[in-house]
Structure 1
Amino acid sequence: MQIVVITAGLSDPSSTRLLADQLADAAVAQLGERGERAEVEVIELRPLAHLLADNLTTGFATGALAEAIAKVEQADALIAVTPVFTASYSGLFKTFFDVLDKDALVGVPVQIAATAGTARHSLVLEHAVRPLFAYLRAIVLPTAVFAATEDFGSNADGQLAQRVARAGAELADLLVGGARRRVVRDEFADPTPFEELLHSA
């Protein structure tokens, strides 16, 4: 199985990347317990910023950006982690998903997560990030993982580790259960699937 991690952190080292790595490690460990192997590919968005801007103006992805998009399109699951900017996901994070094909994430399990300096931003996952992936018709995992500055380091109370472990188990269960993939037809525009269900009932 191929898990692609999208991380939009801007600093180096980045707490966003740290959280992304923890989530990936948890998913791989949980899949291992279920007898499955997974490979993880991490895509850092910061080096792709100029290529993303070019894509917005030209409509074409080139170089490393084209490779990143291809990896996402072939992924069995996605882990998407953004820093919080102005009470929402970062512009860099949103731009990457803006340039994907509209059907690229249909039926793809997505684990969402975010980092910020304060826990006051924790609801960004529910009011901004989850609706983004719901619109793209991905399968968004129930547990969204938020980490504030105090969740890292010696003063952390361990709750982040519990949330990461729960998220890893959810992703592993979904992958092993075979929920993936891929309906490209827009069922709101095409009534055929519902007609077939009615006739088979």
Structure 2
Amino acid sequence: MSIETLKVVGLSGALSTLSRTTTLVQSYLDSFASHGVSQLSLLSIAELAPYLAQTTDPTALPPALQQAVAQLSAADIIVVASPVYKGSYTGLFKHFIDLLDPQLLKGKTVLLAATGGTELHALVLEHQLRPLFSFFGALTVPATVFLKDSSLVKVADGSSYQYQLAAPLERIALSVSQALHLHAGPPPLQHAVNAA
């Protein structure tokens, strides 16, 4: 599969439309775009929240949730990020994940990220998010990104966030590079034998 045909979907678990977490997910999508990926989309739990709050039956999803699930199903690569509240990802994020068919994400490449007030919350990446997506049979990328809230500050007009340092963007680039490599898979066996 060529870079141009890859479908990458970002999923932000933030509960507000303007958030550090969504900014982080958008940075991942921008990094994929720099590699030539053009089929990029962003799902926001904040925008899905009104529908999630009234949905408990995975077989009776409202149209907005059906569309979100369809986007994830069609994705080749998924970027997942959540703010950390009370030591875990957001409840509505988990509720959305609970509505997914266990086979939906099987074999998909997933990048993991989170935001929080202190580095202590970074454990959510390895102890909660990675096991969660391993349950689905997804292939999680080794390099994760955790951002302290202080790493992103609002611009003067309050319309968006900007990074205090360049280091997170470098880590995002590494994670994206790993995802593209992982998604491409190993070289054909005959090629590997010839190379030896």
Report if aligned partners of 1:27, 1:171 keep a CA contact under 8 Å in 2. Answer: no
Which residue in the other structure is 1:28 paired with?
33
Which residue in the other structure is 1:174 paired with?
182
Aligned-pair Cα RMSD in Å: 2.0
Which residue in the other structure is 2:156 paired with?
none
Equivalent pairs counted in the alignment come to 174
Report if aligned partners of 2:17, 2:46 keep a CA contact under 8 Å in 1. Answer: no
Determine which of 154, 167, 180 is the counterpart of 1:159: 167
Q: Tell me the amino acid that sits aligned with residue 25 of structure 1.
A: D
Structure-to-structure mapping, 1:34-113, within 5 angstroms: 37-57=37-57, 59-113=59-113
Structure 1 unpaired stretches of 5+: 180-201
TM-score, normalising length from structure 2?
0.81
Aligned-partner Cα distance in 2 for 1:8–1:174: 24
Deviations 1:110-157 (A, max 9, x none): 001111122221111111111100111100100111111222248834
Structure 2 unpaired stretches of 5+: 1-5, 154-161, 188-196
Percent sequence identity over aligned pairs: 32
Aligned-partner Cα distance in 2 for 1:178–1:64: 37
Q: Tell me the amino acid that sits aligned with residue 141 of structure 2.
A: L
TM-score, normalising length from structure 1?
0.80
Deviations 1:161-194 (A, max 9, x none): 2211111111122233489xxxxxxxxxxxxxxx
Tell me: higher relative CO, structure 1 or 2? Use CA pairs within 8 A at least 6 residues apart: 1
SS of match in other structure, 1:43: strand
